[in-house]
Structure 1
Amino acid sequence: MFSMKLLILLTFPTLFFSQEKMISADFDGDNIQDKVYLDSNNGAVVYQLSSQKFNKVSSDQFEDSGEIFFDKAKNGFKVNLNQMRAGYTYQFRYEKETGKMRLIGMERYEFGPASNDGSGESSVNLLTNTYIGEWNYFDDNKTKLIKMPPIKKKMVLPKTYFDNLGNVFSTYIDKDVQYYLAEKKRLYKQ
C-alpha cells in the first residue's frame, strides 16, 4: 500500500503540491523573499513586499466561491480560482515605477453544460493586449462537439493593479463571450 502511494506521488506530483495557499519569492527584485497568501481572518488575498517593509496589501475583489491557490510566475505570482465547472487566473508582476503588483494577464476556462457547448479556455496578455480563445460549440445537427479554430484578437483593457481590480475581469469575460458568440455564429449555421 505504501509503495502505491509513493508511486502516485511520484507520478502526479503537481496534483498534490501545485495548489499552494501561500508562496514566497522575490517579487520586487531585492533578493529578499516576499509573500502572497490568503488571509484566514477575512478571506482577502494579501501580498507583502520586503521593499515596502512587509506592509500588507490586500484585495478582497477575488470571487469567494471555489478554491483559491497561488503559483509562482516570472517576477510575480498567479492567483487561481477554481470552481465547479470553471476557473480563473490572474497574473501579477511587480512594477518598479509604481512599487505595485500590476495585473499583466488573465485566463479562464469553462466546461460548459452537459453537452460541453461553450467549453474551452482563453487568455489575455495585458502587456501586449493579445487575446487568444480556444473554444468549442455543440453542433445540434451533427450531435457532436466541434472545436473552433483559435480566436486571436486585440483586447485592450485599462492598466490595473492588485489593490484595485475594479471590474476588469468582468470586462474581460464580456468581451470574451462576444468574441466566442460572433465566431460561433460565423461557423455554425443551422
Structure 2
Amino acid sequence: MFTKKFLFVLLFPSLIFAQENRISADFDGDNIPDKLYLDSKIGAVVYELSSQKFKKVASDGFEDIGEIFFDKTKHGFKVKLNQMRAGYAYQFRYEKETGKMRLIGMERYEFGPANNDGSGESSVNLLTNTYIGEWNYFDNQKVKLIKIPTIKKKMVFPKTYFDTLTDEFYTYMEKDSNYYLAEKKRLYKD
C-alpha cells in the first residue's frame, strides 16, 4: 500500500536528498562551525556564519533543476547541481574584507546526446580569470568521438557574492559554448 509520503519520495527523490544535504564547517576562519543547507521553506540555499551570529544569508540564484549537493573546500564550499546528462558547480570562499562568501569559480560538464557530441567539462577560476575547457565532438565522417585540444582562455567576471548571484552561470555557459563551437568549427570540416 502506497502512502502519500512514499509517493512523494518516489516522484521527487532529488528534493528529499537535497533537503537532507547539509555542511557544517568553519568557513570564516574563527574555529566555530558555520552552516550550509537547502532551506525548503524559502526554496533557497542558505549559509549561516558564526562570525555573523548565524544570520541566514540566502541565494535564489540556483535553479531547482535537479539534485543539489554541497562539498566542503579548503576555505569555503561548492554548490553542485546535477541533471540527467549535465551539471554545474559554483565555488565560494569567505572574503574577510567584506564578511561575505565570494564566488571564486564555476564548473560545468555535459555528456551530450547518445553519440556524446559536445561532451566534456570546463571551469573558470574567477580569482585568476582563467578558463579551461576539455571538450569532445563527434566526427560523422570518421564515426568516432574526437577530443578537442585543451582550450585555455581569459574569462573575466565582476566580483560576485553568494547573495547577489544572478545570471553569472549563463554568461559563463554562453562564453564556454562559443569557445567550444569555434574550436569545433576550426577542427571539423563537415
Other-structure match for 1:69: 69
Other-structure match for 2:170: 170
Which TM-score applies when normalising by structure 2? 0.88
What is the correspondence of 1:107-126 to structure 2 with a 5 Å cutoff? 107-126=107-126
Deviation at 1:36, TM superposition (A): 0.3
Other-structure match for 2:82: 82
Which TM-score applies when normalising by structure 1? 0.88
1:25 aligned onto 2:25: yes
Other-structure match for 2:131: 131
CA contact (8 A) 1:158 1:168 kept: no
Matches of 2:173 and 2:81 in 1, distance apart? 15
Deviation at 1:52, TM superposition (A): 0.3
Other-structure match for 1:99: 99
What one-letter code is carried by the residue in structure 2 that aligns with 1:111?
F
Other-structure match for 1:185: 185
Deviation at 1:42, TM superposition (A): 2.3
Deviations 1:31-74 (A, max 9, x none): 10001000021220000000000000000110101000100001
What is the correspondence of 1:12-51 to structure 2 with a 5 Å cutoff? 21-51=21-51
Stretches (4+) displaced over 6 A: none
Deviations 1:92-143 (A, max 9, x none): 0000000000000000000111111000000000000000000000001111
Matches of 1:132 and 1:52 in 2, distance apart? 35
Q: Can you give the 5+ residue segments of structure 2 that lack an aligned partner in the other structure?
A: 1-19
What one-letter code is carried by the residue in structure 2 that aligns with 1:121?
E
Deviation at 1:80, TM superposition (A): 0.4
Other-structure match for 1:5: none
What one-letter code is carried by the residue in structure 2 that aligns with 1:174?
E
CA contact (8 A) 2:61 2:167 kept: no
Q: Can you give the 5+ residue segments of structure 1 that lack an aligned partner in the other structure?
A: 1-19
User: How many residues are matched?
Assistant: 171
SS state of the match for residue 163, structure 1? helix
